[in-house]
Amino acid sequence: MSSPGYRPTPAAASQLNLRGAVDLSSLRRPAAPPAPPASTSPDGGTANGGAPGSGESSRAPLRVEATETNFQDLVQLSAQIPVLFLLWSRYAAESPAVLEASERVVESYGGRLVLAAADVGAFPQLAQAFQVQAVPTAVAVIKGQPVPLFQGPADDAQIRELVEELLKVAAANGVTGSIGDGTQPEGTDEPEPLPPLHQAAIDAIEAGDYAGAAAACKQALLEQPADADAKAGLAQVDLMARLESLSASDAESLRDLAAQEPDNIEAQLAVADLDVSGGHIEDAFNRIITFIGRNFGPERETARVRLLELFEVVGTQDERVAKARQGLARVLF
């Protein structure tokens, strides 16, 4: 799922600066985005915010599960201490190891920076905010400005080398705070209470009850048909439910099947789900549009409906959605 990785050399790392290469303001704070379990690690274990499968709650203060809800709070926190965003997907083979390595390195600095683990499968808008092309990708934020670090595989030593340079950049810009062992990061304001049904959807997801989360979103839409957050939330929950039982080997088998059988709708839609979960948004959209252009009848309509659902997952204002809508119109009319 990821392209060949790159790692900046020490010379390149020393040139890190606060250039505004990414517009972080493009990610608005939605009223009620369904979130994945905050304590779920890439390998399926629950670590209470610690390394995958570790179960060590002491790691929680230094690792935050980044979501669309707390994104802006984390950006604000970067005025006090650097925030290292690690964008990952459970369908990218390198992700678990890189996430564990990043967490070990961040933990070793005793609160001088925070790790924000961002699941791009559950929150593709986070990948959009950083213009991520493949996962895993690490981007630090200092004073609200992104500092690209690396993409692809990286071990502890390589990550530590970059963190050392990052802390120098932070110090040069007056960002020298620390969050102290066992304390919550300052500057992460408590979010406003969500509407009851929105909160019910989030609670259901945290319990692993995707059906319950979907039911809450559907009820919210019955009460408020124009509830854009509930509509997007339903699409996200449905995607998470479809991906829940897939293993990495299943994903590879589905990709092989889709390549061999371009008119197999189940395979094509499943691979499109995988692409969205890994941040390969345009690949997912193009796959479905191509299928629609080749097929007619009920399967064509099924593919069209799924594409519209994925538009909601990505965000209807996303420029890639606008481009895909034009492509869809061309093959339909």
Q: pLDDT tens across 31-61, in order?
A: 333 333 333 333 433 333 333 333 333 333 5
**Residue 62: band (very low, low, confident or very high) from pLDDT cuts 50, 70, 90:** confident
Q: Cα separation of 172 and 139, whole Å?
A: 18
DSSP string, 188-255: -PPPPPPPHHHHHHHHHHHTT-HHHHHHHHHHHHHH-TT-HHHHHHHHHHHHHHHHTT--HHHHHHHH
- State the Cα–Cα distance between residues 303 and 41, nearest whole angstrom: 31
Same domain, 301 and 208: yes
CATH code at position 324: 1.25.40
pLDDT value of residue 73: 87
**Is residue 86 located within the same domain as residue 127?**
yes
pLDDT of residue 129: 83
Q: What is the mean pLDDT of residues 117-124?
A: 87
Average pLDDT, the chain: 78
pLDDT value for 218: 94
Whether 150 and 22 map to the same domain: the answer is: yes
Whether 168 and 264 map to the same domain: the answer is no
- Boundaries of domain holding 114: 10-172
Strands 137-142 and 114-119, by their bridges, are unpaired
- Residue 237 clears pLDDT 60, i.e. is over it: yes
111: domain CATH number is 3.40.30.10
Inside any domain, residue 69: yes
Residues 59 and 110 both lie in one domain: yes
Q: Tokens 């991520």 identify what position?
A: 132
- pLDDT tens for residues 161-211? 999 999 988 888 888 888 753 434 444 455 568 889 988 988 888 788 889
CA distances from 80 to 76, 114, 151, 212 (A): 8, 11, 25, 39
Residue 21 lies inside a defined structural domain of this protein: yes
Q: What per-residue confidence (pLDDT) applies to 181? A: 39
Picking from 88, 66, 90, the residue whose alpha carbon sits closest to that of residue 141 is: 66
In a domain, 5, yes or no: no
121, 208: one domain: no
23 versus 104: which is more confidently predicted? 104
Indicate if 127 and 214 belong to the same structural domain. no
- Please indicate, yes or no, if residue 3 is contained in any of the structural domains: no
Does 168 share its domain with 283? Answer: no
* Confidence at residue 8, expressed as pLDDT on a 0 to 100 scale: 38
Question: Could you read off the pLDDT of 76-116 as tens digits, one per residue?
Answer: 888 889 999 999 988 888 889 999 999 999 999 888 999 99
Q: Is 157 helix (H, G, I), strand (E, B) or coil?
A: helix
Count of domains for the chain: 2
Quick: pLDDT tens for 239-293.
Answer: 888 988 777 778 889 999 999 999 999 999 999 998 888 778 899 999 999 999 9
Residue 25 pLDDT exceeds 60 = no
CB 119 within 8 A of CB 72: no
Residue 150 located in a structural domain: yes
Residue 285 domain flag: yes
DSSP element (H, E) containing 286:
helix 281-294
In a domain, 20, yes or no: yes
Q: What pLDDT is stored for residue 31 in this prediction?
A: 31
151 shares a domain with 17: yes
